[in-house]
Every structure is written in structure tokens, then in C-alpha cells.
Structure 1
């Protein structure tokens, strides 16, 4: 250890004394600072309070002089009495200004002083100046009358009372300051004694710790030496806590223990390996075992063993070089003196190379590869001659201790290798003699069997020739029939294409012809149903509404038939693009939240993690399929819930067992009437429903599922259905994550049609009433909302009115602002301190984005929850709101349950952060 880093015993003792001196210095600094503070406060009392009292008395004296001078002049008429009056009149204002400046830190005393000034000024105006003027005019009657009324007496009495109160208040303040000064002096003494106690305790503790460290290390050294002398545990080490002379003693003792333990470890390893080398019975097994042990012992990831035979070095084993890799390990056979291996065999010495060039030897694994940097070639000797050579490649050079251990191990391995080879040669000679005897015995038996086999093969060839002639005749007949069938199918296909084209053209023309009058009917019936001019009575207005609704139903039917015709004719176009999955819940909520509220049903949408952010598909067709499935679910469900679950699934391929396909599953489940098992297949056919009774009861044409299945096929996916009559149904749309080539898409579609049967059964679905508990407002949740202040920022007063009425039912205080500027003004004035802000995005002049940014950046309200509200509901709107600083995002029309849930979440989150 270098001297600059040593912390000797002398240094520790000096450091201890230095710490004590520094602590005393720190105490002196603290005490000096406290004494200076007390001195300043004492000076403040001596100068400030005394000056206040003097100025108060001076003002009172000024007033008394004015009153005395006034009365003397009034009685005697001698103007010499006006001298104290004039002097007081000129001095009281200056004294007042000085006193007012001294008590500028006391608003209540300043207010009292202002009242005193008002009374003085009032006395001068109504008594002082008027009486002097009357006396100067020598109108004795008016003077007598003035004295009898004496209008200034009241002001003088009030003035004396206020001066007494003002003086008493200042005396009380002075006494309080004196008391506080005495208390702080007592506190200073307490601090002095406390700091002295702390310094004493720290000094004693430092002495105990330093001496303890020295004594503890010395005791450990003594105990360890005692254990070594008694043959104790060599794994025990001295814990060195210091960098002084005692620490050096501990380090040296630990080094001695490490050397003794390392010698014992090497002996144990040599003994263990020698025992293992006695087990193998063949050259390759023994060589592989030895290389494995070397790899573990020296951390050598790559090695080869060459055996000397017939004046050649033959590779018999390798470590980490099995199979295909083994053919790239270098040469299989080497001559003496050839390369480093051959030279090591001739010279009978170890050869080492470090800093090998890149890719000289490449070490690889299943994850990658790298280059070795060090090469070691070790000869294996037996009775002074080379019998094998080991070549080792490693990431770092072997140390000298490793080479010594390597030499001892190769000596032991040489003996084992020679014994094994000798034993193998003897066994080989014995086996060869046995094999020769058995071969002579079996050759005669083989000749007899071959003769019999040739006779039987001749008969079989004759029979196969006759069967081939018959098979050729049948194939000619089948070929002719197949060609005839193919021609007929081609004619039928042409006819079908022509017919489909005529049908599609007819449906398109009919759609155009029907839409033209239907458009006028819809517009006129809507105008009539609004009845703005009040020309219709309520019954006639209802008729107009029925006409308008029927027209919309007819328009939807025309659209469904046209879509079906396009699909059948192959004219349906799809536009593949990245679709953001996070926008699906918002879009579906816009379509069906109102329906769920009207039917008093639960409607929930779940995104189960993990999900990709986007998939490649046609967004419009995806929404069309989901709307059809959800419409059916709401139509055939009268109570309970409808749920849309979006999840990622990995499905095993039915033919390629080791292959899995990732798909996105859109599952629509309901608690409706369900479908019988024998009706599940036909519901995907055009104009089909579960049965006639269902069609009559619930209406519809039965085109929705047929169109949806066709659209799913165009997107490369499929729709499956499971149901239990009376309990509900589950329709699942499977879509691939990305767009494939046409051939691959067709295979993927067939695959999804096969695995669609893996959709969960209806009796395995989660409880449909589990969400009902989510919408109750428990007393605890009401307590979280009650009394909270909400700022609603929206330029549409109808939205403000509706939201305010809904939130006030839960005891919340609602404040509104009709634009961004009004919102910022309310927050800047500080009169409004909302717990949460509901911010509309689309507002004139200053929109919700910029308003939110200014709240966060200019006003610095970074923790205030802000929930953005927008009716656009585009897939990029959420990111824009969050980027502007919004805490959360909701799309219109608002669901009050979702609003309350988000508000509770963010207000509770704000409370926990505070």
C-alpha cells in the first residue's frame, strides 16, 4: 500500500485531537453568532423603543402647548401666549412623520397613529385656528360663545385617550422584547452546555472506536496464528478495518493463509483428477475427460488433444468443438515438427503465444463468437518420450501458477494415457480374433440365404410388371374424365362471373335509384319532425319522426345489400395502414355508450396487456365489423352487460407443431338470449338469423354477420362464435398483426378459421355482473368527491350546464370559464383554487392545448390534475393532449361514470403525492 493512502496510528491520534479542536472552534463560531444576534436585539430595544416613547411624548407635548397657548391668548389677548401654540403647530407634524417611520413594521400601531393625527388635525381645524382668528378680530361675544360650546374639547379628550393607548401598547411591546431577549439568553446557555456535552461524547466515542479497531485486529491476528498452530480452519480471515500498521499485519497474515490454502487446494485438485482418470477405458473418453477438467480448472474455452501414433500426431479429442464445428478446428493429422504442435512434440517443451491476431482462433457459442488472444501448446511425456500434445486457446494468458499445476497434471495424464492405450491394444487383438471366427461361420450361412432370396425376387418382379400394365390403363381413363370435368367447371365459372357482374351492376343501379328519392324523404321528414314553425300537432310530428326513422332504416338496408354485392363481386376495396389500437375504445364508446345508458346495461371495453401499439389493417373495415358485432350484442341483450375485449394470442399451428402465430382477438360478449348449437353455423349466411321467431321479434335482415365475415376474410382474418342458449354469446374477430402477401394471407386466413374454435366457451367467461360494483358510489367515494372544487372550461354553455348538474349531485363545487383567457385570469388572481380542471380542447381564440401549456409553464401549476375533453376523438388526439401537459383524456359524449372514475383517480393521486 502506498504511503499517500496509509492512515497510520499516529495519523489517527492526531486526527482525533484535530477533530476536537475543530469542534471547539465550531462551537465558538456558533456562540459568537448567537451573541451578536442578542447584541443587535438589545441595541434595537435601546434605540428604537426609547425613540418611539420620546416621540410619543413629544407629540403629546406639542398638542398640550398648542392647547395652552390657545387658551392663554383667548383669555388675555396677549400674543406672547401664541408662541407655544405656533411652536407646537410647527413641530407636531415632523415628530409624527418620524414616529410613523419607526413603527412601519406594526400596521395596528400605524393605524392608531393615523387616528391620532386625524384628531390633532380636526382640533386645529375646528378649535385652534378658528378661536385664534376670533380673538384677533376682538369680537368678545363670539369668543365667549366659543368658550361656552368649546367644540375642540371632545377631540382633545379622544386624543389623550388614544395617546395613552398607543403609549401602553409600545410599553407592552418593549416588555415583550425584553422578555424574549432574556429567554434567548437562557437558551444560549443551554446550547453552550449541550454543545460541550456533544463534543465530550464525540471525543470519547472517537477514542473508543480508534482503540477498538486497533485492539480488535491485534486479537484477530493472535487468534488466527493460534488456530494455524493447532491445525485449525484455514478459511478464516482477518477482517482488516484500518489502513495503518495494524492493518498491514492483518493483510500479511491473510496472505499467508491464502498461500497455505492455495497449496492445499492444488493438492486436492490433482488428487481428484488423478482419481477420475482411472475410470475411462478408451483413448477418446480419457482424452475428453482430461480436456473437460482442464477447461473447468483453467477456464479454457477451447482445446484439442493430439495423440502420437505411427510417427504422426492424430487429433483424438476436442473441447467445445463437436459436430460441424469440429471440421474447422485445424488439421486432423500433423507430422513431427509441423506447426507449433509438431514442434512442441519434438522439443518436448511448452510453447506459448499471446496477443494473437484477430480471428486466428474463433471461439463461438449459441449466442455469438469472439477471438482467442492466447495460445498454449503442452507436450505430454511418458518415460522421457512424447506420447501426446495438448493445444489450449483462451481469452487471457495462463499464469505461472497455472503452468506449474498444468505440468503436474500432464505427468499424471501421461501415465494414465499410456496404460489406457496399452489396455486398448490388448482388447483390440482379442476382439479381432473373435470377429474372425464369427465371420467364417456366418459367411457360409449368408451364401445360402442369398441364393433363396434371389429366387423370391424374380417371382415378385414378374407380378409387379403385370400390375403396372393394369394401373397404366386405369390412369388413361381417369385422365380423360378429369379433362372433361375441368372444361365443364371453366364454363360454369365464366357463367358465375358474368352473373355476379350483372347482379352487382343491378344492385348498384338500384341503390342509386333508391337513394335519390330517399334522400329527399329523409331531409323533408327531418324538417317536419323538428316542427320549428309549429304547424304540426304532436301526433303529426310523431308521424314525421316515424317516417324519418323508417327512411334511415331503409338507407342502412341499402348500404348492407350494396356491401354484400361488392364482397361477392370481389369489388370491395381495403386500405391497409397502421391502426392505433388505443383509439378503438374511444370510437366504440361514441357509438354505443348512449345505447347502453338507454337500455340500462353495462358496456365495458378492456385492453389486455401485452398489446402492440398498432396493427396493419383497414381501420374503416375494422370499425365496421366491430359495430356490427356490438349492434347485434345490444339488440339481442335486454339486461346485464356487453363487453369488448382486445387481447394478443399466440396460437399453435395445427400442422406445423413447432410454429406459433401471433394474432389480435377482438371478443364481443353479451348476456343476451344466446344461440342454439344447431343454429351457430347458419347465422353467418346472408339473410339468416337464429330462427324466424327471433327475426320477427328483434328485426333486421341478417346481413350484418355475413358482411362482417366477408370483410374479416378480406383483412386476412376470421370470425368465430360460441354461445349457450339463454346465457349469452361470444363473437371473436381474429386479425393478423401485419399484412402478408396474398398467398400468405390466404394461408393465414385458413389457419385462423381452424383455430377459431379455440375461443372460450360461454360458461368459461368471467362473471358478467363483475362491473356492476364498479359503478356504485360507496360512502367513501362520495367523501372523496364531496366538497371538491372543479373548474369546467368550455365555450359551450350547454356542456357546462350539463356537467355542472351532474357533478353537483355528488356535493362538488363547480366553477366555469367560457374560454382559455378567462380560465387563466381566474387562476392568476388566486381567488379560485380548484382540485381538478375539466378542459375542453376545441375553443376559439385560446384552445385547450395552449391553455394547458400556460397553466403548466407560466403559472407553474405542475401538480394540478387537468383532464382534456374533446369531441374529435381522433387517434392522435390523446398524444397531443398529454404532450400539452394534460393529466388524462376523455372523448365526448361524456359518460358520467367514466368522468367520476377518472376524477377520483387523479384527485386521490394528487393527495398521495402531497
Structure 2
């Protein structure tokens, strides 16, 4: 009876099944307990949140009713009276909802009865009488109710009641939490005990299985090690008595040994045959060596080797034979178009033949003649032509291994034959060349005599040529000097151009590398500072604000460095528009009054009434100069005042030539002052008056340098008057230019900068536009994805992440609905430009809003983004309100059609 086969996989699977069953049982039991604990925890959280929300809402309603009545008395605004009626009409429904919640969970609704009585008491004794007195214009009654302390005491009593209620419920909740913690501890003990038991079971099961498997494999391993030590000379067949996968392993090993035996035979015979005909010089020697080795390897008894006749390529002549006796082996000459040999030459392949009934030839031996019944014809090919034919005969049919050996040999045999023929032709030509050399020797002696006669004439011509060559060398030297000068000038111009390109690229890359991480810092710190989840302590909130402020300071520093570099490179873009000078004081007060108040300084700003309100300049750069000057004045002033005066200066002829309208803006402070010998260096980049200033007040020394350069671009200039210990006055002279500055053409021929994005305020009613919107964030920096995802999810949007352009395209091609795409520009594999182009041209999604995001602050990046099809553009670090504004515009646009 055949023994049933039990495989290794079955044995291992049996162990796993037992283990999985145990784990499944433990998991079901533990999951049941965990689910119960989770449900109880969720119930506590939901009750705590609902209880606090409803009680706070009810408490605020009572306070709002009192506040609305008081505000109505003060302002006589009917809106406050209407608000009182609305709160009066809705507080009982909130109280009922709170009562039901407490009754369903803790049953402590009696704690709410004093609160209810207190609310009714305040309404009956204060709220309604005061309302009636207001409606009846009873000022005396109003005064009594307002001046008294009854309402305040009632409100305070209600607040104490709410606090007592919430504290009581919080204590009850804490008791339940403690109970859940105890249950959780018990569950943890049960979990570890179950894992310990499962570990013991697993060790026992797999120990039994592994011992059964390893005992059989050791026998096979021992046999394979014996084979390896024999170094391939003796391959004994393996025997195994197991009835599983090990038996399959042994059978595969035996097949491998057979293959190795065949490969060794093939390689050994191939090496012997190739070695046999290496280094021969004649075709006859080649034929003899080839037939001797080849007949031995293939068990052939006859052989003949034919070479193509160079004079008549249709004929092949015999050059060698093997075992030739009284009768010749094969014909002396064969024709390529005749018989079976001709067919082999025509088809360029090996043909075999044989007969079982009759013989083709007799092998002559000392004992008699042996009939030969099998043979083959082998054409030797070089290039596309048969150049030799080999015919072999044997007593038995040729095996496939012997045919493969012959096919491998003739692959290179054609090259060898052609090489020997080439060497023989070279020898023949060499002999002919030697005979011709002797004839040339005689002719050379005759020419020698004629050469001596020509030598005399050559010497005379040489003298003339030397003079001409000297003049030519002088002219060539001058030409080379001129060419070298031109080459040096071109090289210098090229280096200058490359230096400018490297600087621009460095600025762009620096902007990207700094703004990319800074983007995440600003967004996440801003979200932390908002503390919407109310989960941060006061210290944590302060830390978040400090991080956000530090990030903004770093952003300002980056912008200053980039602005200064753009000015120096002549690539700062100016946008002239109408500017209202009378808005300058308002701007200064709004932006700098808090700082001045904090330091106890007097801040004032005045505009001469004789000035026209409309002034033409670049408003952004104009206010940038004002902000820098005022920031410096406030920073270096410890006490006293900072004053800004905008007046009309006296015009010189050169000033009138440029513009008829000028302003003189002076910023005067009572600060530390600047020494006279330091007036020039404060306008240089990264310079301040001294090291102590840097240590005490901080700063990079870029602000005044930027102010000076920007004022020049606007057609004006900046002056300084200062005295140590008294204060400083920075004065800006600026013309009104409606069509730009014609004087800066020589300084700036190419303007490259970043246009400011239009800030669109998003009303609170527009937040619902983000609900359930599907937005792709394509960015290779996970910090940016993390920050943007949390910001958008808080608005109700669904975020889809893509770490490069290829992933973004795959998402869109999958047919998944997408409302908008936030596309980073610099990404691996496929950058933002390529991805946007593919979306527009290949996917034909022309209406899908795509907002390009980049940390590079160069104008060409923005222009290129619009060229490839971006809907809008925003630079990093991102302003969340600005981003939400852009998304709101595009998500509510009629052009935003449904795609894929």
C-alpha cells in the first residue's frame, strides 16, 4: 500500500493553523472587552463635552440678556433690545436640553433646579421689570433697577450655581474614569497573560515540526556536501527515503548533476578542439588538427575537410581527410550546386543522414571492413558566405550534445580560416614586394644624381624664403596678439554673464531652500497659536507665538536680502500708481503706535495741507522705505518721541526737470544718534554704527541700504542728519512720476521681480465652500503637506496627497473627482511645470483650478507658471488667509467644471 505523502508545507501550515486559532479566540475575547471600554469612554467624553457646552451656552444667554438691556439704555439701539427678546425666547429650550442630557447620563438633574429658579427670579425681578420700564419710558424705575445691586447679585449667584453644577458633574465623571482605568489595568494583565500562553504554545508546536523536518534535510545536506568535496570529478546519484518535498529536492539535485556532467563534457571537448587548431599557419595543418580532435570527440570514423576555391567560388577542394584507406575518403572536389552537399551550402545549415538497412561505406580495419551508416555535412560560414565544408561519418547516430558541440566550434572556425588565408596572402604579397624593392633600388640610384643637381637650386631659393618667412612670422605674431586680446575679452564677458546667472540662480535656490521649511513653521505655529482644540497650556501658546514671530522675522530677513540683491543686480520691478499721501499718518499709527506705546514713546505723523492728495509712485516701495525708517527710529529710541513730517521741498532746476511735484518726508527721533564719521557706513549692506549697537539692538544692517537703493530707483534720494545723544533725522526726497522714472534706465535695463498677490478677504459665510471639496496637494516636502492638510481639513476639505508630478497625474487619470490642485514647482521625477502642461494638454482638464506654489521669489517663475497653464500663483511661505481666499475664488467660480 502506497504511503500517504505529508508535505513540509502541510506540517508548517498545521502549526500555523493551531496558532491562528488560539490567537483568534484570544483576539475575540479581548476585542469584546476593549469595545465595551471604548463605548464607555466615548460616552463619558460625549457627555462631558455636551454638558459643558450647554451649561456655558445657557450661562452666556443670561449674561447677554442683562448686557443687551444695559447696551440698549446706553445706545438706544433697537438691535440690542431685539437680541434680548431672542435670548429670552430660547433659554428655556437650552435648559430643557441640558436637563434631558443630565437625566439620561447621571440622574443629577436636581442640581439644575436652583439654577432654573435663579433664572426665573432674575427675569421676574429684574429683566422683565426693566424691560417694561424701558418700553414705558419710566426713567425713575429704570434708574432704581440699574443703580441697585440686585441684578449683579442675581447674576453672580447664577454663575456660582453653574460652577457648582459643573464641578459636581466633573467629580462624577472623574469617578467613572477611575473605574475605567481599573478595568483597563485588568484587561492589560489578561492581554499579557494570553500572549505568554500563546508564546508557550507556539514554541512547543514549532519545536515538534522543526525536528521532523530537520532530520530529513540533514541527510540531504550531508549528501550534497559529499558532492561538493569531490570537486566535480565524480557525481554520485543521491538516494532519499523520505516522502515529502525533500524527495523533490533530491530529484532536482540529480537532474542538476546530469546537467553538470553534460556541461563539463561540452566545455572540455570544446577547449581541446579549439586549442588543437590555434597557432596553425596553413589550411592543410588546420584541417588535419581539426579532423583529429573533432572525430575523437564525436566518435566519428571518417572525415573530410573542403575549402572554397578563391578562383571559382562554386568549387570546394579537399585539403584534409581522416582515416583515408585504399580508397579515397570523399571526392577530391565538390560543386556547391550539386547533391546533398550543395543543399547544405545553399541552406547554410548542418544536414545529417543515415540508413538502418544498408551501408554507405566500409571502415577498413586489420580485422575486416565495418559498414558505416550515419554521417553529417557541416558548412563553415564567414560573414554571409560559406567558405568551407566539413563532412563526418560514424557507426552510430550523432547525439544532440555532439551536434551542439559542432555548432559551437564552427561559429569561430570561419574567422580562423579567413585569418589563415589572410596570412598566406600577406606572405605572397611580401615576396612580390621584395622583388619590386630590388628594381626600385636601381631607379633610386639614378634619381640620386638628379637630386644633387636640384640641391644647388634649392639652397638659392632657401635664402629668399627665409626673408619672406621672417616677415610672415612678424605679421602672424601681431595677428595672434590681436586674437588673444579678443579671446580674453570674450572670456571676461562670458565669465561676467555666468557670474550674473550664478548669482540669480543662487538667489532663487536660496529663496526656495529657506522658504520651504519656513512655510511649515509659519503655518503650523499659527495653527497652534489659534488653539482651536483648547488643548495647549498658556506656556505652549506663548511658545507657539514666539515661534510664529521668529518665523516672520526670518521671512523679513530673507525678503530684505533678496530685495537688496535684486536692487544691486538691477532686477527690482517698480509698479507706479496713485498713492494717497493723507493715508500715511493712518498707516503709521495703525502699524507702529502699539510699539511706541509699549516703549512709552510719543509717535506723531503730519502731512502738509498744501500737498496734493494724489502722488504717483510705487506705493509698495514707498511704504517699505517708511516702515524701515520708522522701525529703526523706534528701535534706537529709548525715551522721547518719533515724528514724521511730509512737506513740500524747495525745488532745484534739476529736480523740476524730472518732476514738478516732490515730497520731503522726514523721520525724526530722540534716540542714541549716529557719530558724524559713521554717517556713510550705515547705508552700506550689513553695516551698523558699531558692534555694541548690534549686540544691544540686533538687526542685520540691511534696512537703510535697501531704503537708499530703492529711493534711487524711485528717482529720489535719502539724507541723514544726526548727533550722538540727541537723535537722528532721515529725510527722503521723492518725485511724483506718473509714467515711471526715466532717469533709472541707465541703471536698470531689465526689471525682474515678484508682483504682489491680491489679498481677497474671505467672509465667514464663505467657509462652507470648502466643505467636502477634494483638493490634491502635490509637494515632495512632507512638512508642507502635513501643514496644509491640517489647515484645509479644519475647513472641511478632503485632502489627497501626491509626493511628485507622476503621482498627481495617476490620481487624475484614475477618474477620481478633484476640485482643485495645489502644485509645488520643484519636485523630483516630474516638476510642477511639466505636470501642469500634461494636465492641460494631455488630460485636457482646462477648467481644473491649479494654484502653483513655489519658494522661489523670481518673476520668471511666476510668468512661466501662467504660461504652462496655472490658474493662479502664490509664493512660500504661505499666508493661510491668502491661500484660503484664492481657493474660495476658484472653488466658487463658474469656470470650475466637474472633471474626471
TM-score, length basis structure 2: 0.28
TM-score, length basis structure 1: 0.27
Q: Which has the higher contact order (CA 8 A, sep 6+)?
A: 2
